[in-house]
Every structure is written in C-alpha cells, then in structure tokens.
Structure 1
C-alpha cells in the first residue's frame, strides 16, 4: 500500500532553475540580466526553452556539475503557481554553504534561538523560493526561482497565498519588472520578479466573497446568531488586520518585521492556513502586506550606514544603479596602464581572501564602503579605490 501523505509530503521533481542573474565568464563578478535565464541538467529542456523564448542553449559548469543554460529574450513567461510551492527564510551563505537559516527567532539549522549579535544572523537576507510549472514546456515538474530582495519577500508571498484560495494549480505570468527608487538624490534601478495570476474579475470576486462570508448572508440565521435582547449592544465588526497593520509603525528592525509576519501566519490571517479562517480576507491581507513592505523600506532608509542597494533578484544578483559613487575613487597615476575590471576584481578577491572574507562578505562590504554602489556595476576606478581600502589594512566592518 502507498505511504500515507501525512507521513511523506509529495511534491513535483525539480527540473531546473529560473534565474535573474549570472556571473561574468561563469565565475566573475555578478552580472545584471534584462531577461530570464534558465538552467537545468537536462539539455533537452534547455533546447526547448531556447526555441520557446529565444536565446542559445549551451553547456554550463555549475561549480563542477555539468548542466546547461539559456539566456532568453523574454521578460514575461507563462507559468502555473503550485500549491505549497513557496518558502521563505532569513539566510546567510558562505563558501561552504548555508551557515544560518532562521524565521527571525529560531535558527532552523541548529534548533537554537537566534543570537542578535551573531554576524551570521545580522547579515541574513530574506530568501524567497518559488516553485512554478512551465505549461509551454513538454515536461511535468517544478522550476525554482529564488530572490533575495525585500520587495520580492513582501509581494510574491501575497500573490502566491492568494493563489491558494483559487486552487492547487493556478495559471499565471512571471514578469521581470524594472523599478526605480531615489535615496539621498541617487536614482537606483533594480529588477523585481512579479507573479501575475491569470484569473478573471468574476473569479476574484467569488474568492473575496467566500472569505468575507458574503455567501452566508443568503442562508438561514443559526440559532446561536439569534437576535440580541432589546437594548443589548451589537457586536462590533472588528477588522483583524487593523491592529497588526498599525503596530508595524512601532517596529524598527527587519527582524521585528519577520516576527510580525510569522505572527500573522500563526494567527491564520495570511498564508495557507488562512483558507480555513472565516475572519481572514484577501483584501485585508493585501493591505497588511503593503504596509509591511512600506515599513521595510522606511527601516532600510533610516539606517545610519550607507544604504545597501535593493537586492531584488537571484542569488547571483541583478541590480543596476544610476548614480555616481559616493566616495570619489583615487586618481590613478597618469603613466599607469589601464587595468581591466575583471583583473581588478580578481585582485579584490585575493586581498579579501587574505582577510578571511567570503564572496558574500566582499559584495556586502563593497556596497557599504562605496555608498551603495554594487560590485556588479562598479567602474574600474571604483574597483581600484575599493582595492586600495582593502590593501591599506582597514578592518572589515563588523
């Protein structure tokens, strides 16, 4: 007899990844992308995706694992949102793998409470993983997309959770949307993955009506809902989202936001559990998500250190910035021959490695010291200046 679903959680096999970024030359600096990139161990899938969405299928070395990739021409692809296809954690990675994964309170790798002074906890980034199906590909299985930005952390779960109210497999489109933000007079451009459910207005009204209890109005009044005695006050119609939304203004850290999000899930006001809660509503959940996202931006802007760029995109980055460097690079000697950006990047990696820094440390430290400029968009002069900071013996900020 088959194993009980309660014992074994069934899921679709992962066929490949949907990526928003890449590395120059496969191992160089993070590189922005203007369209989706797919990777998979199966060459047939990649060849078929190249036919569907443009680009050239080619072999790809995934850290010693032979795979295949295609850089497509598409910024919008049809997908199917899958029930249970979303996961979110705060994570820190090093060269040896994931060293910290938590929900804001508990490190799930160790089962211990998070130490707020632990560098791995402080550096943890929101990690949103979404498994989708590709209906135009002749293969049944999941394709995983991963994002490390606060925008995606707020927006994708809201839409994915709305899909749970609609059904187990919901048609949608995955879009790469460019957005802009202005901070301290600097304009940054970044790409955000956006999931757009393909459901009609009538179906959406049905979902909202079902969750708001409108369908019950036509039925008989249960005995426990009989009219109150004369003079008795009517029960107030309390909005369960009003209090938690107002409380967001008193939260001053990203950890606090993560805890607030988990509390709403525990109260079955967002997430899959909300489907069985008559007090939950998609409209209320959407209002809460918008307020949560706005507060996340306010906290980021209020940091005393130079604001880090919004890192929406894949783990291998996809940020573009339109500003001059906050720190003026040191002028190179007139007689010095120009050094390529890749050569400077290799020198930076060598110098940082001598200080015990891993690649994520270097990228974060670069953004902090260079006023928000990322290593993937820095000029040769900016890379040269940062290299000078490293070799001058300055300590890496804690």
Structure 2
C-alpha cells in the first residue's frame, strides 16, 4: 500500500444529501418520503429508478448553484454505516449569514459561553418556536450501496427526538464493532405525534435500524463486508443450475453392471432418484448381466475389424453396492 499524508484527515467525497423535506418556491415542505439531492444528475436518476419519483433540476435556497433532486416514493432506504464514527451532532442556529450558534449541549462553541438556549429557556428549550432557539442537528454519513460511486451521503435531521435515538443506536454499534467494518442499516421516516399544551403536533422522525442482522451479530465485532453488502442473501447471484443428466441414456450407454451402478450413485448423490428410475436402472443392469459371455466361452484371439480385442467380463457373486430401498415413487423428482 502506498503512503498517505499524515496531517490530512482522509475521508470519502460527499455525493449528496438525504433529506426529509424540500422547498416549494421559498416555502419549506415536509416530506413523508426521502428526498435525495446531489450535484450529480446520474446519481439522482439512479435513485429515481430505485425508489421512484421524477428527477428535476433544483437550486437550494440562498444558493445560485444548480443541483438535482428527486422526491422519492420510498420512506425506507437501505444504507451502510461506514467505518469510523459516522455521526456528528450539534445544537445549531442558522441565519442567512451562516451559522450563528453551534453548541454541544453544554458549551456554545463559537462564543465559548455556556449553552444559551438552556440558560434562557430551561431544559424544555427545544419546545420553543423554530428560529428562536437552536435546532438539534444530527448528521449521519452513510453509503448507499446501490448507487454508483464510493462516496458518502449525508442524512441530516433537525429532530430533537431523532438526536437521542441516532446517538444511542450508533454508539451501541460502535461499542460492538469498534468503528471497524460496515454495518447494514435501514433509514426509515416514521410519522410521530406529541401532545403539548393541549395541541397535537405531528412530525417525521428518521429511525436508524439494523438491516438483515441481529443485535448479537452487530455487537459481536466487525462484520464482514460480504455480509454487510448482502445480509439476507437475497441479492446473491444464483448459480446457473446445470441441466438434469439423462440417467436413462447414460444407463443405455453403459457396458457393464458397474457402469450402471455408477449412474445409480450419481443420481442418488444429486437427489434425483425415484422408484421408476431405480427400476429402469435395475432392468438395464439385469440386461447387461444376461448379455455377459458365460465363463469359459471361447473368445476371438485376434482383434476385430476396428483393431479392438475382446475382453472377458467376470462378475462378483454379490455386487459391491446393492440397490437401496427407495421411498414412494416421485418423491425425488421425475426420471
């Protein structure tokens, strides 16, 4: 392996974002299905082919750079948690001028002051209207194995409830894998509601779930890449099934009883034996037995017209392998 710059953090390129909302004009809209955005038209069109929706060009708010997006029809998508710690979480307050606050829950990191939201509004500060306080912002870097490219996709949520669940889920996985290897997960948008001050509020929460593996597997150590990519085996490339041998033709071509017994053994090993086939093989063996020249019969001394010499065939008193009892006819397939 070649060398690396030790003073630069290595990371995969970001291909795009996984969102739970979109803008319609200048109005933000929530989505019950995933919205996938990227600078790459190819990625977005591939995502539309997988999860539905119509690709369209799109320019984010406060930006002049055109991107692509698709509002998919899927509320769940398959992803991989990548090696390392893929989750970053801060309480953030943004404006048109950029990030105004970034807090780790105890200290506002830009001003180095104690958490401003908690100091001002108490422990339920997150219940305040959006824009007045920070949003609990969680960013999870994942790989989408069915899209082209080896880069990352960033799933982002501003849900206070998702923040605790994402942190708990990722920390449990990291405890088992030590941040090594990939972990297959499902990212699912789940509708929820909460009653506060007599009013019911509905909102989507992104849930991260293990996919195709059990907690025992996830906590037992790093998972092999092959298992992470295909945890249920549903995507495994099926081996092309060989055509069923023509056992009767093989038996007809047999020259000795031993040859017929070889055909029998092959059919037995393949699970193709049935009573009609056994009866046919026994009949062919008896046929060959009756065709065998009797012991002591004079054989031609010289070669025949093809240059082949006749060979005397001597049978054992008991065949080395008999014809075992077979279950009901047709139990293992047709002839």
Bin for the TM-score computed over the shorter chain: 0.5 to 0.7
- Per the alignment, residue 147 of structure 2 pairs with 137
Larger relative helix fraction: 1
Counterpart among 40, 50, 53 of residue 51 in structure 2: 53
- Per the alignment, residue 100 of structure 1 pairs with 101
- Alpha-carbon shift at residue 187 of structure 1 (Å): 2.4
Q: Call closer, same or farther: CA 1:71–1:205 in 2, change over 3 Å.
A: closer
- Per the alignment, residue 205 of structure 2 pairs with 192
Q: Relative contact order (alpha carbons < 8 A, sep ≥ 6): 1 or 2 greater? A: 1
Q: Call closer, same or farther: CA 1:3–1:202 in 2, change over 3 Å.
A: closer
Measure, in 2, the Cα distance between the counterparts of 1:122 and 1:148: 14
Query: With structure 1 as the length reference, what TM-score do the two structures score?
Result: 0.47
Measure, in 1, the Cα distance between the counterparts of 2:49 and 2:33: 15
Structure exhibiting the larger radius of gyration computed from Cα positions = 2
Query: With structure 2 as the length reference, what TM-score do the two structures score?
Result: 0.56
Q: Could you give the per-residue CA deviations for residues 73-120 of structure 1, whole angstroms, max 9, x where no partner exists?
A: 00000000123210011111111110111213333334x233746899
- Indicate if the aligned counterparts of 1:163 and 1:197 stay in contact, CA closer than 8 A: no
- Indicate if the aligned counterparts of 2:108 and 2:115 stay in contact, CA closer than 8 A: no
Measure, in 2, the Cα distance between the counterparts of 1:39 and 1:206: 35
- Alpha-carbon shift at residue 122 of structure 1 (Å): 7.2
| SS state at 1:177 partner | strand
Measure, in 2, the Cα distance between the counterparts of 1:182 and 1:118: 23
Measure, in 2, the Cα distance between the counterparts of 1:123 and 1:183: 18
- Per the alignment, residue 78 of structure 1 pairs with 78
- Per the alignment, residue 9 of structure 2 pairs with 9
Q: Call closer, same or farther: CA 1:90–1:121 in 2, change over 3 Å.
A: farther
Q: Call closer, same or farther: CA 1:109–1:3 in 2, change over 3 Å.
A: farther
Q: Call closer, same or farther: CA 1:51–1:150 in 2, change over 3 Å.
A: same
For structure 1, which runs of at least 5 residues remain unmatched after alignment? 208-398
For structure 2, which runs of at least 5 residues remain unmatched after alignment? 122-129, 222-335
Counterpart among 146, 164, 179 of residue 192 in structure 2: 179
- Per the alignment, residue 170 of structure 1 pairs with 183
Measure, in 2, the Cα distance between the counterparts of 1:99 and 1:201: 39
Q: Call closer, same or farther: CA 1:42–1:94 in 2, change over 3 Å.
A: same
Query: What is the alpha-carbon root mean square deviation over aligned residues?
Result: 2.4
Measure, in 1, the Cα distance between the counterparts of 2:13 and 2:215: 33
Q: Could you give the per-residue CA deviations for residues 51-81 of structure 1, whole angstroms, max 9, x where no partner exists?
A: 0100011111122111000000000000001
- Per the alignment, residue 262 of structure 2 pairs with none
* Structure 1 outlier segments of 4+, above 4 Å: 117-122
Aligned residues: 203
- Alpha-carbon shift at residue 181 of structure 1 (Å): 2.0
